[in-house]
Structure 1
Amino acid sequence: MDAAPTEPAQPVWRQRAVERSTRAAKLRAEQRIERFLNAAQELMTEKGTTDFTVQEVVERSKQSLRSFYQHFDGKQELLLALFEDALSRSAAEIRKVTAAEKKPLERLRSAVELLYKQSQPRPNQQSPLFTDFARQLLATHPDQVADAHVPLLDLFTELVEQAVESGDAHAAKPRRAASLVMQTAMLTAQTPGVPTGSHATPVTVDEVWEFCRGGITGGS
Structure 2
Amino acid sequence: MTSASEEPAWKQRAVERSIKTAKLRAAQRVQRFLDAAQSIIIEKGSTDFTVQEVVDRSRQSLRSFYLQFDGKHELLLALFEDALSRSADQIRAAVAGHTDPIERLKVAIELLFESSRPDPTAKRPLFTDFAPRLLVSHPSEVKVAHAPLVVLLTELMEEAAAAGKLRPTVSPRRMAAMTMQTVMFVAQSSGSEDVAVTPISAQEVWDFVAHGFATDD
Shared fold by TM > 0.5? Answer: yes
Identity score, percent: 54
Q: 1:60 aligns with which of 38, 57, 60?
A: 57
Alignment of 1:87-166 (within 5 A): 87-122=84-119, 123-126=121-124, 128=126, 130-166=127-163
Q: Distance in 2 between matches of 1:158 and 1:217?
A: 26
Residue correspondences, number: 212
Q: Does 1:34 align with 2:47?
A: no
Q: Does 1:204 align with 2:164?
A: no
CA-based RMSD of the aligned residues comes to 2.1
Q: 1:10 aligns with which of 7, 12, 29?
A: 7
Match of 1:23 in 2: 20
Match of 1:79 in 2: 76
Unaligned runs of 5+ in 2: none
**How far 1:216 moved relative to its partner?**
11
User: Does the aligned pair in 1 maintain the 2:47–2:125 contact within 8 Å?
Assistant: no
Q: Does 1:182 align with 2:177?
A: no
Q: Distance in 2 between matches of 1:151 and 1:218?
A: 33
User: Does the aligned pair in 1 maintain the 2:117–2:190 contact within 8 Å?
Assistant: no
Q: Distance in 2 between matches of 1:101 and 1:216?
A: 27
Post-superposition, which runs of at least 4 consecutive aligned residues in structure 1 deviate over 6 A? 216-219
